[in-house]
Amino acid sequence: MSDIEAMKAQLVGDIAAAADLDTLEGLRVATLGKAGSVTALLKTMGSLSTEERKTRGPEIHGLREAVTAALADKKASLEAAALDAKLATETLDMTLPASARAAGSIHPVSQVMDEVAEIFADLGFAVATGPEIEDDWRNFTALNIPETHPARAMHDTFYFPEDRNGADGNRMLLRTHTSPVQVRTMMSETPPIRIIAPGRVYRSDSDATHTPMFHQVEGLVIDRGIHMGHLKWTLETFLKAFFERDDIVLRLRPSYFPFTEPSAEVDVGYKQEKGRRVVGGNGDAEGHAWMELLGSGMVNRHVIANCGLDPDEYQGFAFGIGIDRIAMLKYGMDDLRAFFDGDLRWAAHYGFNPLSVPTLSGGISA
Ligand code: DAH
């Protein structure tokens, strides 16, 4: 065996025996480093005679390749072993319950939206959505609120400048209610339709019970033979589940909305207890009173026709509820503005555990 072959066997053996990455790095420097033994041999190549270069040349190159490959192999196996050792000591039990100190909580508005969706899902309603930047046709015109209608002025609408009009020339605005989702749903789906549409709405209005942005949930049912009995039963069933009590009494009071005919405002009986309104009981009973909770009615046949359905074939009911308002009522907050202040102390006090999702079986707000 030549001296170079012997050196190769020695170095490859040393590399294979290296116990750790530091030793291996030492061997790399000692062989392939600037002053390394293999590097030194490579440097002698220039001074070899043509004859020597023919035999020693390939041997020296073979030595460098063998050492380089042995170093790479050993490095990979030492790194894999180091990772295995690390994984064996650093255990993470994914089945442990999350820390009770988990930061962050679910905002009451999100909680109530989840509760509402859960209750209506059980009644067969899907959740529909629409854009917050809406056009005036879907927000007003299609809902039977023509340009000259006083309801347009009543909505304190935030309009976009006219140079931002939609492709079809419609004026753009921040939707003033979730009712345009009714229009979008009737135009894109065929009955039977059963949807709720929770979301943000905007009106230029601000005091203790009004903020420029607030939340509503719209309900819409379109099918054959729908009547007000269906509306009343649905609302009663929803409110009993939402307030988690059976003694919910409703009063349907004749009202007017352009998009429903007939229209009814729905009042619920309540009692003042410790400075707080507690829902339940007949509003006409001793110590009780009525409070307005939501707007509703049978979908106006003009609206059904505007959305491309035949009002002689299809009827339906709709309702709109203020989410912030029912959240305040259920969970006892008295200033709506605090909902949107972003105060962490308020969020910690009124917020909900992110890990407890509302379910009917588990108790809706348990
Ligand atoms: N869109 C109404 C509002 O914002 C609420 C409403 C009333 C919605 C009656 C309805 C309804 O769907 O039938 O004041």
User: Does residue 311 have a cis peptide bond before it, meaning omega lies within 30 degrees of 0?
Assistant: no
Ligand 1, CB within 6 Å, residue ranges: 177, 179, 218, 257, 260, 295-297, 318-320
Contact criterion met (CB below 8 Å) for 295 and 263 = yes
Q: Which two tokens stand for residue 253?
A: 């009071």
How far apart are the CA of 280 and the centre of ligand 1, in A?
23
At 93 the pLDDT is: 81
Name the percent of the chain in helix, strand, coil, to the closest 5. Answer: 45, 25, 35
| Mean pLDDT in residue range 307-334 | 95
Question: Residue 196 and residue 290: Cα distance in Å, rounded?
Answer: 25
Question: Residue 160 and residue 78: Cα distance in Å, rounded?
Answer: 65
| The ligand 1 atom nearest the CA atom of 216 | 4
Contact criterion met (CB below 8 Å) for 204 and 212 = yes
| The ligand 1 atom nearest the CA atom of 260 | 13
| Mean pLDDT in residue range 327-332 | 92
Superfamily of domain 107-350: Bira Bifunctional Protein; Domain 2 (3.30.930.10)
Give the Cβ contact number of residue 252 at 10 Å: 17
CA–CA distances in Å: residue 146 to residues 42, 59, 116, 224, 268: 91, 94, 31, 27, 32
pLDDT tens across 109-153, in order? 999 999 999 999 999 999 999 999 999 999 999 999 988 887 777
Predicted model pTM: 0.73
pLDDT tens across 227-286, in order? 999 999 999 999 999 999 999 999 999 999 999 999 999 999 999 998 889 999 999 999
CA–CA distances in Å: residue 343 to residues 174, 347, 351: 26, 6, 11
- Phi and psi at residue 317, to the nearest 5°: -125, 160
Which residue minimizes the CA distance to atom 2 of ligand 1?
320
Q: What is the DSSP string of 46-62?
A: GGS-HHHHHHHHHHHHH
